[in-house]
């Protein structure tokens, strides 16, 4: 089956420092890859490369349509959650439901707590309807219920033939292949 | 998506403070008679120039909200992932900004012209010159906002960048308002067109360069 994300011999250098060299990876439909490694080992850079926001020094990156959740909210703070999500996707109800955000649908995004903002970021990805999800530290700020909901959401996405690339220090529930950077 | 971006830009301006640059424009125009004195002949001679200086300073006001909040909030990254080029984003930003800046400024130019005692027969010319200049001013403002986004003291830096770059627009615009035979209007239109045409590429490159 055609992979949704493929790195071939990718080298990444940031600020003159070599983060990784000649890296190959492949994520196909239904697959989830968990990136680990110490701070500064290049996890976020790898995700930004996959998203097309950074350019690799060497190598080739191919990917299908992707959605990204990182530390940026990327939702208009003056709007209510429903309208802010609605800028990016038409159908946002299911994603809000999955992350228990329905009761916050009419609250302006600027009033959200850290955890609520993280849920909103994940809802933006879930509502995008694209096959490849790129998640940078998706557990940051989530409470136990949030983590559980995220795991269920990811499991459903994988079942439907989606793929996930996630960088996280914490353990992620479900079946993940693992890749450790900076070793 | 581009239409939605333009609408978003306009909504943010109206929800923010689109009236603020316009109020500022009025205040600066109203200051001129206080500084120069009430002599109507003298005022009429410098009125067009006064309006243009007011327009330039008003164009500076919204700069900090044009690009930086979207950069810091990750909006540009999300648009890029969706395959929308940074240049298209730049064009949408300029269009959306002009929509909430140009027409309002022209509206405010009417009472300002009255305060400065512009003669009725040259009022039309003054307004046309200002109208032709506003797209160029809007494009310049977004370009400078993109170039300074994320830098420390961006606001002051933006002023130092924008005002000199607006000099051609100012010379031809004020000239076109003063003397119909000068051909200043065509030169002003050419400068305005150049600024608008260059803006998507400048903004696009600036967005890419500001990525970390």
Averaged pLDDT, B55-66: 92
**Out of B4, B81, B211, closest to residue A68 by CB:** B81
Residues of B in contact with A74 (CB under 8 A): 73-75, 77-78
Q: Is A155 exposed, middle or buried (0-12, 13-18, 19+ CB in 10 A)?
A: middle
Check B73 against A87: CB less than 8 A apart.
Answer: no
Alpha carbons B172 and B190: distance in angstroms, whole number: 10
pLDDT band for position B121 (50/70/90)?
confident
Task: Sheet containing A58-63: give its strands across.
Answer: A17-27, A5-14, A58-63
- pLDDT tens for residues B158-199? 999 999 999 999 999 988 887 777 888 999 999 999 999 999
- Total CB pairs under 8 A between chain A and B: 40
| Residue A70 near chain B (CB below 8 Å) | yes
A110 touches chain B (CB under 8 A): no
Question: Domain of B177?
Answer: 2-209
Q: Are B146 and B203 in contact (CB under 8 A)?
A: yes
Query: Mind telling me how many Å the CA of B8 is from chain A's nearest CA?
Result: 9
Contacts of B80 in chain A (CB under 8 A): 51-53
Cβ atoms within 10 Å of A18's Cβ, excluding its own: 11
Taking contacts as CB-CB distances below 8 angstroms, the residues of chain B near A65 are: 83
- Please say if the pLDDT value at position A125 is more than 80: yes
Q: Which of B74, B80, B83 is closest, CB to CB, to A72?
A: B74
Q: How many domains does chain B have?
A: 1
Q: Tens digit of pLDDT for each residue in B39-54?
A: 888 988 888 899 999 9
Confidence of residue B25 (pLDDT cuts 50, 70, 90): very high
Q: Model confidence over A128-172: pLDDT tens digits?
A: 999 999 999 999 999 999 999 999 999 999 999 999 999 998 888
Average pLDDT for chain B = 92
**How many whole angstroms separate alpha carbon B101 and alpha carbon B95?**
10
């Amino acid at each position: 089956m055609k992979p949704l994300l493929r790195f071939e011999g990718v080298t990444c250098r940031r600020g003159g420092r070599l983060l990784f060299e000649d890296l190959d990876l492949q994520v196909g439909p239904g697959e989830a890859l968990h990136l680990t490694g110490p701070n500064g080992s290049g996890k976020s850079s790898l995700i930004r490369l996959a998203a097309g926001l950074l350019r690799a020094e060497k190598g080739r990156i191919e990917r299908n349509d992707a959605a990204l959740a990182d530390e940026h909210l990327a939702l208009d703070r003056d709007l209510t959650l429903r309208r802010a999500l609605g800028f990016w996707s038409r159908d946002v109800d299911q994603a809000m439901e999955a992350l228990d955000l329905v009761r916050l649908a009419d609250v302006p995004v600027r009033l959200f707590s850290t955890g609520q903002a993280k849920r909103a970021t994940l809802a933006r990805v879930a509502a995008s309807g694209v096959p490849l999800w790129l998640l940078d530290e998706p557990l940051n700020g989530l409470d136990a219920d949030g983590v559980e909901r995220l795991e269920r959401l990811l499991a459903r996405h994988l079942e439907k033939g989606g793929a996930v690339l996630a960088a996280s220090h914490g353990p992620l529930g479900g079946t993940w292949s693992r890749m450790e950077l900076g070793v | 998506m581009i239409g939605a971006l333009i609408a978003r830009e306009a909504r943010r301006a109206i929800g923010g403070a689109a009236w603020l640059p316009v109020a500022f424009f009025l205040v600066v125009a109203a200051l001129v008679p206080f500084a120069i004195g009430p002599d109507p002949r003298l005022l009429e001679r410098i009125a067009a120039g006064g309006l243009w200086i007011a327009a330039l300073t008003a164009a500076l006001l919204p700069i900090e909200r044009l690009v930086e909040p979207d950069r810091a909030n990750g909006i540009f990254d999300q648009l890029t992932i969706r395959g929308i080029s940074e240049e298209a984003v730049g064009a949408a930003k300029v269009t959306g900004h002009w929509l909430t800046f140009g027409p309002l400024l022209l509206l405010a130019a009417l009472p300002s012209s009255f305060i400065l005692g512009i003669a009725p027969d040259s009022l039309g010319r003054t307004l046309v010159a200002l109208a032709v200049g506003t797209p160029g001013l809007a494009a310049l403002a977004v370009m400078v906002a993109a170039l300074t986004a994320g830098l420390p003291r961006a606001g002051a830096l933006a002023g130092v960048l924008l005002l000199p770059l607006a000099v051609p627009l100012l010379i031809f615009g004020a000239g076109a308002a003063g003397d119909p035979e000068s051909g200043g209007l065509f030169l002003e239109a050419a400068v305005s067109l150049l600024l608008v045409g260059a803006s998507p590429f400048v903004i696009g490159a600036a967005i890419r360069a500001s990525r970390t």
